[in-house]
């Protein structure tokens, strides 16, 4: 299943340009939910390749979701994303993902961002997304946002509107701030999110909407010239039609650069 997903994704989005391998990443993601709502485990591997005027990242993931009431699912997922600089003003991010028929991951997804650089140090982003989930749920989304660059600091904001089959409209806000180290490749990044699309963080067969809040802190720490350690700590709060609960998330990753 994993090989089939990866081959399908790579054939769909891999550019014709010759590429060179840039990074290999291994990661583990664990979330523990309160109130008897179970846990989620995800292991993944990814590669990053560079080509003329762009880059591509492809990844495979294997996950397990225990809902805490006797229901549990295993799932596999593949994803590929291509970044391309068309000129000094316009760049794009386009990707797709495929998963098996389980609520662990999104089943089908295609997305694209258009990034405009009107002035130095500023980027405006307009994006679109279509996704299919377990049990026949479909989500269409659009987003608008921007980034500001000032020395080692990067500030980003994105508003996303969703339309979910059988539910209607929802939204989310996401703000992030990244501070680069004075030297080297290390950085620290903070994310804060809020909105009404609960599936954005935890897809459940019975939860398609609700209020959510999230906060996460990421540290990318170089260990050597070629190896970095990524650590993420996060907290999520859910208020849904079937109950209120929260999640504590931890992520650990190792990145080898060439």
Is residue 7 within a helix (H) or strand (E), and if so which, with residue range?
helix 2-13
What is the pLDDT, as a whole number, of residue 208?
A: 63
With the C-alpha atoms ordered 180, 249, 196, 77, is the resulting torsion angle positive or negative? positive
Write out the two tokens for 48: 């990053």
Q: Tell me the pLDDT of the chain averaged across its residues.
A: 90
Q: 74-127 pLDDT, tens per residue?
A: 999 999 999 999 999 999 999 999 999 888 999 999 999 999 999 999 999 999
Compute the distance between CA of residue 214 and CA of residue 15 in angstroms, rounded to an integer: 35
What is the pLDDT, as a whole number, of residue 199?
A: 60
**What's the pLDDT band for 203 if we cut at 50, 70, 90?**
low
Q: Would you give the DSSP letter of residue 123?
A: E
Q: Name the least confident of 55-69, 193-207, 217-231, 240-254.
A: 193-207
How would DSSP label each residue in 71-91? -EEEEEEEEEEEEEE-SSSEE
E strand intervals along the chain:
20-33, 39-51, 54-66, 72-85, 90-99, 108-116, 122-132, 138-150, 153-164, 168-180, 187-195, 211-222, 227-240, 243-257
**What's the pLDDT band for 16 if we cut at 50, 70, 90?**
very low
Is the pLDDT score of 17 beyond 70?
no
Is the pLDDT score of 12 beyond 50?
no
In terms of pLDDT, which residue wins out, 170 or 159? 159
Q: 226-242 pLDDT, tens per residue?
A: 999 999 999 999 888 77
Compute the distance between CA of residue 245 and CA of residue 96 in angstroms, rounded to an integer: 31
SS3 9: helix
In terms of pLDDT, which residue wins out, 89 or 12? 89
* Superfamily covering domain 2-257: monomeric porin ompg (2.40.160.40)
Residue 69 C-alpha from the chain's centroid:
27
Give the residue extent of every domain in the chain. Answer: 2-257
**What's the pLDDT band for 143 if we cut at 50, 70, 90?**
very high
SS3 160: strand
């Amino acid at each position: 299943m994993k090989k089939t997903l990866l081959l399908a994704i790579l054939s769909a989005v891999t550019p014709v340009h010759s590429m060179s391998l840039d990074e290999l990443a291994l990661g583990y993601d664990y979330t523990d939910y309160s109130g008897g709502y179970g846990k989620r485990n995800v292991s993944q591997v990814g590669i990053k390749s560079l080509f003329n005027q762009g880059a591509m990242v492809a990844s495979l993931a294997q996950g397990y979701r225990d809902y805490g009431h006797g229901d549990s699912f295993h799932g596999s997922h593949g994803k590929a994303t291509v970044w391309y600089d068309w000129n000094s003003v316009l760049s794009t991010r386009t990707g797709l993902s495929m998963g098996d028929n389980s609520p662990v991951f999104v089943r089908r997804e295609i997305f694209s961002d258009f990034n405009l650089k009107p002035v130095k140090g500023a980027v405006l982003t307009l994006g679109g997304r279509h996704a299919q989930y377990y049990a026949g749920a479909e989500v269409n989304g659009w987003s608008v946002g921007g980034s500001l660059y000032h020395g080692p600091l990067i500030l980003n904001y994105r508003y996303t509107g969703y339309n979910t089959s059988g539910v209607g409209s929802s939204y989310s806000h996401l703000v992030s701030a990244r501070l680069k180290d004075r030297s080297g490749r290390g950085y620290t990044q903070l994310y804060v999110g809020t909105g009404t699309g609960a599936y954005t963080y935890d897809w459940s067969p019975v939860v398609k909407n609700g209020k959510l809040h999230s906060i996460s802190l990421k540290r990318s720490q170089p260990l050597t010239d070629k190896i970095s350690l990524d650590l993420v700590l996060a907290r999520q709060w859910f208020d849904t039609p079937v109950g209120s609960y929260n999640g504590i998330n931890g992520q650990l990753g190792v990145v080898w650069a060439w």
